[in-house]
Structure 1
Amino acid sequence: MDWSHFIYFALPSVICWTIGAAMAYRTNKPGQVIGWTVAGLAIFMAFIVGMWMSLERPPLRTMGETRLWYSFFLPVAGIITYIRWRYKWILSFSTVLSFVFICINLFKPEIHNKTLMPALQSPWFAPHVIVYMFAYAMLGAAAIVAVYLLIRSWKRPIDRKVMSLCDNLVYVGTAFLTIGMLFGALWAKEAWGHYWSWDPKETWAAATWLGNLLYIHFRLHRYKLYKVALGLLVFAFVLLQVCWFGVNYLPSAQENSVHVYNME
């Protein structure tokens, strides 16, 4: 299995997710919606597993490989939201976003080799990144809802029920973000001898975590100020983007960070 096979898995997956998203609007049978979405996830996961076996390591080293996981977890976040709260449109949004990341990987393929630097040969490496990608997907879905509500608020009042969706997505995303940070601390202790060193990547990870905690705190104490809360959520998502890939382009990270390996 190599990158040239990706389109043969990605295309059927997107088709299944699209059918599932369309059926959410056209049928009252959630089982069919879930079935199509899960089928797409199974096909996509088959490629991830194949890459894992081919590379003889978790496909988590490069930005392209992390985008692979993000493309997978976006529909996961969408179907979880649909099952729990029956929001139909979230499946369409998650499918479109996943398709965007898939296209980026198709049009900008990266070299995937079996080389894995010693720091990444830790049992904490895979769970740390996988949990983080799921957290990013949940927080990304929350940010999408936030932007949608802000745009819609120009013409009509903000829907309280949809605001509660933002809250729930952020709760889940922040919980997994916290777990991912703990896994990362354990990984850092094993790889570099210390749990936390305020490396540029770690600093922005802390800023992302605090940004989402700020949203949660604001919603608990100023729950009627919807637009301000949504603005904070979008700001937290911007911090997340800097933490994920933007920090790699900062001079401080290129000179001092131990996390620049994903640029190689």
Structure 2
Amino acid sequence: MTWHHFIYFALPAVLLWAFGAWSAWRSKSRLATVSTIAGLFVFFAFILSMWVSLERPPLRTMGETRLWYSFFLPLAGIIVYSRWRYKWILTFSTILALVFICVNLFKPEIHSKTLMPALQSPWFAPHVIVYMFAYALLGAATVMALYLLFFKKSAVSKEEFLITDNLVYAGLAFMTFGMLFGALWAKEAWGHYWSWDPKETWAAITWFAYLGYIHYRQQPRHNRYLALITLLVAFVLLQMCWWGINYLPSAQGASVHTYSN
């Protein structure tokens, strides 16, 4: 299996996700669920094939992490849809997954079977995979925040805010596990749990931003719209932590977390 086979898995997966999104709008929940899950199986088949072909988890380059994000977005979407029946969530997850898939199609990464010694730790794979799922959940929470801020015509209901909160709770929980796995990985690879590397610094900033949102929401007299704006700011910080750090001068040649082919 090579990168050139990606289109043969990505295309049917996206079509299945799109059919699932259409089924959701038509209130055919069973069909939406089956179609979305089928697409996930097809897409994950390529990830597993790349795993076998590369003889390592496909987690090293930005292209490889985009694979996981493209997978976890529809997974998070179907979880939210199954729980709360928001019809638009599958459309969102499909469109955003398609964006990342197109980036990988038009800008293919050069994959290598080799891994630097630091990336050969057993903690590396769970660290990245858990983080990608956290990012997908927090991405869904961000879309909810945008919807409530700019598209909701009537007053924001308690139930709608509760959905947003639950996504943040779950996303922050997985992010916390990801940081713990990363600390164990760092201890094994570099001899210390935390070194305030630029990537680690922005990870801490992002984690505190989402924690701040949760604490602010617990205040009896909090402003709901200010809370939603806080959530959007936290997502911007998350993007900085994920890929923006690669363009900072402080990370060039200094951060062990910057991605390269």
User: In structure 2, how many angstroms separate the alpha carbons of the residues matched to 1:157 and 1:171?
Assistant: 23
1:142 aligns with 2:145: no
CA distance in 2, matches of 1:34, 1:245: 31
The whole-number CA distance in structure 2 between the counterparts of 1:95 and 1:208 is 25
Q: Helix, strand or coil for the counterpart of 1:238?
A: helix
Runs of 4+ in 1 over 6 A off after TM superposition: none
RMSD of aligned Cα (Å): 1.2
Cα deviation digits, residues 165-224 of structure 1 (max 9, x gap)? 110100000000000000000000000000001100000000111110011111111565
Question: What is the CA–CA distance in structure 1 between the aligned matches of 2:220 and 2:243, rounded to whole Å?
Answer: 32
Partners of 1:222 and 1:204 lie apart in 2 by 30
Amino-acid identity (%): 67
> Which of 142, 166, 186 matches 2:164?
166
- TM-score for both structures, normalised by structure 1: 0.96
Counterpart position of 2:183: 185
Aligned equivalents of 1:91, 1:37: Cα separation in 2: 8
**Which position in structure 1 is the counterpart of 2:14?**
14
CA distance in 1 between counterparts of 2:65 and 2:144 reads 23
Stretches of structure 1 lacking an aligned partner (at least 5 in a row):
none
Partner Cα distance (1:256, 1:93) in 2: 36
Q: Quick check: 1:127 aligned with 2:160? A: no
Contact 2:216 2:222 in 1 (8 A): no
**Structure 1 counterpart of 2:25:** 25
Distance (whole Å) between structure 2 residues aligned to residue 36 and residue 258 of structure 1 = 40
> Conserved in 2, the CA contact under 8 Å of 1:248 and 1:263?
no
Q: For structure 2, list consecutive stretches of 5 or more residues without a partner in the other structure.
A: none
2:229 aligned residue:
231
Provide the TM-score with structure 2 as the length reference: 0.97
SS at match of 1:256: coil
Q: Does 1:69 align with 2:68?
A: yes
Q: Secondary structure at the match of 2:156?
A: coil
Q: Give the letter aligned to residue 11 of structure 1.
A: L
Letter aligned with residue 254 of structure 2? N
